[in-house]
Structure 1
Amino acid sequence: MQKIMVPESDFLRVEALPEAEWTVIVFSHLNYPAGKFAMSRELQDIRASRIFVNCPSNAWYQQGIPDVAPSIDALVTLLLDIVRQLGGKKLVCIGMSMGGYAALLFGLLLKCEHILAFTAELTLGDAYARSFYANNLKVYDYRYRSLQPLIDANNKTQISAIYGTHDQCDLALLWPIAGLIEARNLFKTYLVAGDHQVTYRLKISEILTQLMKMGELKAADISTKYTVSLDISADEILLYSEIRRAFAENAKVSLYPLLKCHPKREVRANLSHWFAIVCFEMKLLDEAEASLKSALELERENFEIFHLMAMVQAGKGHHSEAVKNYQIATKLQPKAHMSFFRAGKSLEALGHNEDAVTCYRHVLAIIPDHSEATARLRMLQGYSPV
């Protein structure tokens, strides 16, 4: 049995595989308690030594890990020592969200062979970003608040960055390295149908195994079920930044001329979806419906698209079609109380009061104190909660 000298910590775990060629460092994402580590189950059969790292207070690893490596520099030194003890020839860093940022940061500082980063922020602390509002400390190392300098200087590490197409925050933060992404050299960006939680749709162990085996990824290695695209351009990344700004500032209407004529809209479900949101806000319901139909031709498992389609159809008085799409939405997201609630209102409009009651009961099973659902139940059948 290989003996590895590792300091005791609830935020670090090492699993050595004797004579393994690869070492994998896995950085946990948000809200993992001490002693728990992201991807530990998914990667238990990987033919590699594994180092699992966690970060308290959702601090984006800006202060390393407590006691044993309380700074970024100290954690780099510790990880390098452990990697050398494990003796593998090749190193890959992997993580999602906060862990994705850490995989990029430490992978580049350690000059590893590969980085597999899911939904990683490249710039920390923007007001609308998770690294600000979900970060309990909000303390940032000024050297690494932006990863752009490290990524620009990289001449060795192959980076595979995977993002959900419907996450405006993550996509908007890519703009500082838009040129590198377009070049598709050492930084390859894959867009996968989904949002910030896109990793839950993917088989991480299979993706990592393929990366270690072949030394690179193709779109089909990431997913054959969900749409995956590699052809992202610099102007598209800048468009995502503008979309995020308009949504954050409640200035969606300003996007109407920009999205209406954008050449990528017909081949990107997310652009059609966001254009439909703009049209819905402007009460252009026919345009919104047509754009959502385009989105659904490209992507059939997105809750938000089906929910908005139902709202548009209800707004046009087409309640039967609305109910069908609300039902699809609730199958995709069983705890989507607003889909149940709005379905109930459309069922009432159709005179299907018993089915409406069922929908409102679903709402109350999810949110027991939902006042509007309670009021509609009382109106329909004299309902009173027990």
Structure 2
Amino acid sequence: MIALKMLEEEIGPDLLLRRGNGRHLVVAFSTVVSATSGKFEFSNAMLDHKGHVLLARDSGGDSYHSGFAGVTDSIEENVEFLAYLRRRLDVERVTCLGICTGGYAALLHGFLVGADDVLTANARTCCDYDIARKRRCGPRWPGQFDAVYEYYAKREEVPRYLDLRALFESRDSTVGPMIAYHSENLKMDRNNAHAIQDFPQIFPVPSKSKTHTELGARLRDRGVLEAHLRTEPADLARMHLAMEANA
């Protein structure tokens, strides 16, 4: 059982809970950049959200495989914690969101916890070197996935959850619509998105951007994030199905 004191605003060095008035919990996963910046990347963007917001930081630089520092130490424990928080706050809707490596975490945790909806931009979809090179979707820099491999090596465990496509194929989930924006004109982002776009929960939204990071900022600045959070998950699915039909 997780102690009640964890529901205070500062749950741990990498988790900040902002309590709201509604029955909606948004879990915002920062990218691996937060390991060096020390910032919660959605902190400002979520200031006006009326529900609860859990801001997560990836201080381990391993896309949360080693857990939330001081609170959990594995993906499985992350999922248990999020499920506990969902029950404890008595929310009706859980949304996971993230950009790039944070998007990978949002898709992974959203799928495993059965989030009501997920929103990502240019999400990474695997952290396996062989698979990434085969799909031409990474790594973005030499050694990008090393921290993930090192975590499992220290525990003398076989690495898990390295490929979202394999995960989605291996089990069922109650996750709702996963809205995945990606830069169709950027090869690595396009290839990441195409690896998972044929799953029924995934609603790919091809976009264009000059750089990998530009798209995520644009979704925040142009009201896409705000509009997503205002829309019920069932309506999100219908809206994006209609968009695909008219494409």
- The normalised TM-score by structure 1 is 0.50
Q: How does 1:70-89 map to 2 (within 5 A)?
A: 70-89=73-92
Shift in Å, 1:48: 1.3
Distance 1:89 1:189 in 2: 25
Distance 1:205 1:46 in 2: 16
Q: Which amino acid aligns with 1:144?
A: Y
Higher strand share: 2
Which of 90, 100, 105 matches 1:102? 105
Instruction: Tell me which residue corresponds to 1:54.
Output: 57
Is the 1:11–1:53 contact (alpha carbons within 8 Å) kept by the matching residues of 2?
Answer: yes
Which of 173, 178, 188 matches 2:203? 188
Shift in Å, 1:164: 1.4
Q: Which amino acid aligns with 1:85?
A: R
For the structure 1 residues 79 and 155, does the alpha-carbon distance in structure 2 shift closer, same or farther, using more than 3 Å as the test?
Answer: closer
Shift in Å, 1:108: 0.8
Instruction: Tell me which residue corresponds to 1:159.
Output: 178
Q: Which amino acid aligns with 1:37?
A: F
Distance 1:57 1:16 in 2: 25
- Structure 2 stretches lacking a partner, 5+ long: 153-157
Q: Deviations over 1:254-304 (max 9, x none)?
A: xxxxxxxxxxxxxxxxxxxxxxxxxxxxxxxxxxxxxxxxxxxxxxxxxxx
Which has the greater radius of gyration? Answer: 1
Is the 1:23–1:48 contact (alpha carbons within 8 Å) kept by the matching residues of 2?
Answer: yes
Q: Deviations over 1:47-91 (max 9, x none)?
A: 210001111242111111223211111111122222222221111
Distance 2:86 2:221 in 1: 22
Q: Deviations over 1:89-119 (max 9, x none)?
A: 1110000011100000111111011000111
Is the 1:10–1:34 contact (alpha carbons within 8 Å) kept by the matching residues of 2?
Answer: no
Distance 1:132 1:230 in 2: 36
Is the 2:183–2:207 contact (alpha carbons within 8 Å) kept by the matching residues of 1?
Answer: yes
Distance 1:5 1:213 in 2: 30
Distance 1:88 1:132 in 2: 41
For the structure 1 residues 45 and 205, does the alpha-carbon distance in structure 2 shift closer, same or farther, using more than 3 Å as the test?
Answer: farther
Is the 2:26–2:53 contact (alpha carbons within 8 Å) kept by the matching residues of 1?
Answer: yes
- Structure 1 stretches lacking a partner, 5+ long: 220-228, 234-386
Is the 1:122–1:147 contact (alpha carbons within 8 Å) kept by the matching residues of 2?
Answer: yes
For the structure 1 residues 99 and 66, does the alpha-carbon distance in structure 2 shift closer, same or farther, using more than 3 Å as the test?
Answer: same
Structure number with higher relative contact order (C-alpha < 8 Å, ≥ 6 residues apart)? 2
Distance 1:49 1:30 in 2: 23
Q: Which amino acid aligns with 1:196?
A: H
The reply on whether 1:203 has 2:194 as its aligned counterpart is no
For the structure 1 residues 172 and 34, does the alpha-carbon distance in structure 2 shift closer, same or farther, using more than 3 Å as the test?
Answer: closer
Q: Which amino acid aligns with 1:73?
A: E
Q: Which amino acid aligns with 1:172?
A: N
Instruction: Tell me which residue corresponds to 1:309.
Output: none
Instruction: Tell me which residue corresponds to 2:16.
Output: 13
Shift in Å, 1:178: 4.5
72-81 vs 112-121, which moves further: 72-81
Which of 134, 144, 147 matches 2:161? 144
- The normalised TM-score by structure 2 is 0.76
Distance 2:221 2:69 in 1: 28
Is the 1:155–1:186 contact (alpha carbons within 8 Å) kept by the matching residues of 2?
Answer: no
For the structure 1 residues 202 and 211, does the alpha-carbon distance in structure 2 shift closer, same or farther, using more than 3 Å as the test?
Answer: closer
Is the 1:26–1:93 contact (alpha carbons within 8 Å) kept by the matching residues of 2?
Answer: yes
Q: Which amino acid aligns with 1:169?
A: M
For the structure 1 residues 102 and 79, does the alpha-carbon distance in structure 2 shift closer, same or farther, using more than 3 Å as the test?
Answer: same
Aligned residues: 216
Distance 1:42 1:79 in 2: 21
SS of alignment partner, residue 69 of structure 2? coil
Shift in Å, 1:132: 6.2
> What fraction of aligned residue pairs are identical, expressed as a percent?
20
| Aligned alpha-carbon RMSD (Å) | 2.8
